[in-house]
A and B are shown apart, each in its own frame.
Chain A
Amino acid sequence: MPENTMNNNNVQANMALFLGIASILLFMTGMSPVVGSMGVICALLSRTPVMTGRAKLGMLLSIVSSLVFILIMGIFFYILFTTGTWQQIIHDLANVDPNSANAPSDVMNIIQQNIINLYQNLLNGANVPAAGPVGI
């Protein structure tokens, strides 16, 4: 194995940095863990045998953005479960006719409306399950 193996023109390291930045920029689209894990893969593959500064920075950005996104989603689902919103969504979905042409939009409406109800309840300080059945 060659001793001097640090390569500044390492394509993988540049890709890792690019993907790390992309994972932060794409945070709101929900793609952070996907792009971030690609960034981590590129950074780890760039080790020859040590990691360049760019790769380290890319890996850090990728891991931070992915973990923050996963944490936020975890908190979101925790709130969905503990406020009864999730159960309400399941209950409402049972009323959707799967053979109907409007079924996909009905499902989206139910999810959307229940989350809006939850948001309003939280804003009003009400520690109660999300509001009742959603009209479809």
Chain B
Amino acid sequence: MQIDYLKTSTRMALQGHYRGPVSAALLYFAILILADSLTPGQTASDGALNLIGLGISVVVSILMYIFKAGQARISLQILKGEQEVGKDTYYGFRSGTDRYLYFGLVKTLMELVFVGVTYMLLMGADGMNPGRFIMAAVWFLLGGLCYLYISLSISLTLPILVDDETMDTTEAIKESIRLMKGMHGKLFFMYLSFIGWIVLCVMSLGVGLLLVSPYVITTKMNFYLNLKNATK
């Protein structure tokens, strides 16, 4: 499975079908920006307010998986050549919402543990010192590698959940781990190959994300479909 082939076939599949994924991406980013702007505590010196802000961020992060499911569903339908259904932006609400929330919880907790431990090691009760910095750097490298490996292992869970409505989250995670055996490097390099696109998105002040994020999501769905067909 060549990355170039995946990306080219994804672009070809998306031709003339951008309306659905772009509107789903627009909705996703609009909700994310709105939630972020309403979250208190980002500049507050009040510890309690910061904690409330963190709590809201975590909840929003979990809830956004419902919309991610909608985006993934639209991409899957485009790749399978099925007719686009406008309602699929809200697919996550119609089909086993709890499954996406559960997966969102797992992913968010993973992120929280990794970022939280790094933060605590850097800014402990006795403040910053060289010993702490070395510990934080070691944790960041080793913990980061573990986090990356686990993230890549379970990264196909959402495509599996969207593809098979009968599967529950635990089964989907196990299936993702099974499918991803020996494919971590490939998926990692596929993500890395989008760096140039991200630079262009930054230059366009984020507007480019409306076009690039459906491309990335659909390429990942394409990766999943190819892997699934190859392991049948």
Contacts and interface: CB of A to CB of B under 8 A. Distances in A.
Contacts, number: 54
Interface residues of B, number: 20
B125 interface: no
A10 B15 contact: yes
A42 B18 CA distance: 11
A38 B16 contact: no
Interface in A6-62: 7, 10-12, 33-38, 40-42, 44-49
Contacts of A5: 12
B203 A33 contact: yes
A45 B210 CA distance: 12
Interface stretch (B3-11, B81-89, B172-180): B3-11
A1 interface: yes
Given A11-B18, A41-B211, A49-B8, A34 B201 contact: no
Max chain B Cβ within 10 angstroms of own Cβ: one of A36, A45, A49, A66: A45
A127 to B, nearest CB: 35
B195 interface: no
Interface string B116-143: 0000000000000000000000000000
B1 interface: no
Contacts of B18: 11-12
A135 interface: no
Contact of A41 (B9, B14, B208): B208
Max chain A Cβ within 10 angstroms of own Cβ: one of B9, B15, B197, B211: B15
Contact of A34 (B14, B15, B207, B215): B207
Interface of A: 1-2, 5, 7, 10-12, 33-38, 40-42, 44-49, 66
5 residue pairs, one from A and one from B, having the closest CB atoms: A37-B203, A37-B204, A49-B8, A41-B208, A37-B200
